[in-house]
């Protein structure tokens, strides 16, 4: 990201401690960079400690500050507790949490197994809730405010064919955002979400657009004729995390160049005409990516 394009003053997040799930790569890493550049202490978690350590080193070398890596699979509620204990031991309550970790792949729904559904729902739906609950209970006990930000998609409003477990799970987190904004607002906790359009990342492209033909990857169909730039997403995340936005609560804000209004932003247009052979080929490519990532995690 070109951090020169951040619209906020240096030191804006100076006294803040923020946890970003899935912060080692992709959008999570971009938000981590913006937060640390603006002075926050940033905790990042994910499944690959080596990747997280590399990201933490790179960000601290570039911007100074403090980035703390944690190996934590948010599907595992016990592992979340261990990580949150460590964060509290390092400096007590958090000021912000970004629920960014996700899993997704395109598939015809009839080709999914129960395991395939759970591979996504366990991360996006259950894992996000476990983390929110673990942090939220402690914030309540200590009467400390906190900004929770979840990274969703515009499919929370209209669903999306060919990514049904993700669309279902992210819709549930949209509901969590609205519900807890009300229930925990009195504790000074606020819950908002960002629904990004296309901001290309490696993890996303490999699983949602394996041959460059994923549903919303066609820039020509976007009213602005382009995909999003990382600093644009980061600016919105900083705004929602920063001081002065405390009355923004219970909102899901799209940042997609009006792609949602133009086309619905879903995978239907590009994928509905694929046949059995296409899906066999795409599935093999996606599974190849999953296996490679697994090998990286155990390296
Ligand atoms: C059908 C598939 C499949 C495919 C996996 N499975 N890929 N089924 N089609 N293409 C099935 C497997 O066969 C298996 O079921 C089950 O899913 C679990 O597979 P694993 O490989 O063991 O899963 P795991 O290692 O837990 O990996 C989780 C994952 C993977 C979600 C499948 O993609 C992952 O780690 N993703 C993290 C990064 C990521 O996805 N980033 C993109 C996020 S983009 P069986 O029955 O065979 O045991 C996003 C929103 C984008 O979230 C919004 C854009 C606008």
So what's the pLDDT on residue 217?
60
- State pLDDT tens for residues 225-261: 999 999 999 999 999 999 999 999 999 999 999 999 9
pLDDT reading at 269 higher than 90: no
- State pLDDT tens for residues 162-191: 999 999 999 999 999 999 999 999 999 999
Tokens of 227: 């995909």
Between 254 and 265, residue with greater pLDDT: 254
Please report, for residues 215, 261, 265, 272, the alpha-carbon distance to residue 268 in angstroms, rounded to integers and kept in the order given: 6, 15, 9, 5
HSE-up of 217 (CA within 13 Å, CB side)?
17
Q: Strands 189-196 and 66-71, how do they pair?
A: unpaired
So what's the pLDDT on residue 267?
87
> Average pLDDT, whole number, for the chain?
94
**91 contacts: CB under 8 Å, gap ≥ 6:** 17, 41
DSSP 196: E
Residues pairing with 19 in the sheet: 43, 97
Distance 141 CA to ligand 1 centre (A): 36
Nearest CA residue ID for atom 12, ligand 1 = 116
- Name the least confident of 15-29, 32-46, 161-175, 217-231: 217-231
pLDDT reading at 214 higher than 60: no
Q: How confident is residue 221, by pLDDT bands cut at 50, 70 and 90? A: confident
- Name the least confident of 29-33, 159-163, 259-263, 265-269: 265-269
Mean pLDDT across 133-150:
98
**271 contacts: CB under 8 Å, gap ≥ 6:** 106, 161, 162, 213, 214, 215
Domains of the chain: 3-298 (3.40.50.720)
Greatest alpha-carbon pair distance for the chain in Å reads 56
So what's the pLDDT on residue 208?
82
Q: Which atom of ligand 1 is nearest to the CA of 198?
A: 55
Q: Which atom of ligand 1 is nearest to the CA of 111?
A: 1
Nearest CA residue ID for atom 48, ligand 1 = 115
Environment class of residue 245 by beta-carbon count within 10 Å: exposed (0-12), middle (13-18) or buried (19+)?
Answer: middle
In angstroms, rounded to a whole number, what is the distance separating the alpha carbons of residues 234 and 255?
A: 11
pLDDT reading at 12 higher than 70: yes
- The sheet carrying 252-255 orders its strands as 66-71, 41-46, 17-21, 96-99, 146-151, 189-196, 252-255
**73 contacts: CB under 8 Å, gap ≥ 6:** 47, 79, 127
pTM recorded for the entire structure: 0.95
So what's the pLDDT on residue 7?
93
Distance 116 CA to ligand 1 centre (A): 7
DSSP 257: T
So what's the pLDDT on residue 216?
54
Neighbours of 17 (CB within 10 A): 21
- CB-based pocket (< 6 A), ligand 1: 102-105, 107, 111-113, 115-116, 119-120, 153, 166, 203-204, 207-208, 216, 283, 286-287, 290, 293-294
**Positive or negative: CA dihedral 83, 39, 181, 175:** negative
So what's the pLDDT on residue 252?
98
Nearest CA residue ID for atom 36, ligand 1 = 103
């Amino acid at each position: 990201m070109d951090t020169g394009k951040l619209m906020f003053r240096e030191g804006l997040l100076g006294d803040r401690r923020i946890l970003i799930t899935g912060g080692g790569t992709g959008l999570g890493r971009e938000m981590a960079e913006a937060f640390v550049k603006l002075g926050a202490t940033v905790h990042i978690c994910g499944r690959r400690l080596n990747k997280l350590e590399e990201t933490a080193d790179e960000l601290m070398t570039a911007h100074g500050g403090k980035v703390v890596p944690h190996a934590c699979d948010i599907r595992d509620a016990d592992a979340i507790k261990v990580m949150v204990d460590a964060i509290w031991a390092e400096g007590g309550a958090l000021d912000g949490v970004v629920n960014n970790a996700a899993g997704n792949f395109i598939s015809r729904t009839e080709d999914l197994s129960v395991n395939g559904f759970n591979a996504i729902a366990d991360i996006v739906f259950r894992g996000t809730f476990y983390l929110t609950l673990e942090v939220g209970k402690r914030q309540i006990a200590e009467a400390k405010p906190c900004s929770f930000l979840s990274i969703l998609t515009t499919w929370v409003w209209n669903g999306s064919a060919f990514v049904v477990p993700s669309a279902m799970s992210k819709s549930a987190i949209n509901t969590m955002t609205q519900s807890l904004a009300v229930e925990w607002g009195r504790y000074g906790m606020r819950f908002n979400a960002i629904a990004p359009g296309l901001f290309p990342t490696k993890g996303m492209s490999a699983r949602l657009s394996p041959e460059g033909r994923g549903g919303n990857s066609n820039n020509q169909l976007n009213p602005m004729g382009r995909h999003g730039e990382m600093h644009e997403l980061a600016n919105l995340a900083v705004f929602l995390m920063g001081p002065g936005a405390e009355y923004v609560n219970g909102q899901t804000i799209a940042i997609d160049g009006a792609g949602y209004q133009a086309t619905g932003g879903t995978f239907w247009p590009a994928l509905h005409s694929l046949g059995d052979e296409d899906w066999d080929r795409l599935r093999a490519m996606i599974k190849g990516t999953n296996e490679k990532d697994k090998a990286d995690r155990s390296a």
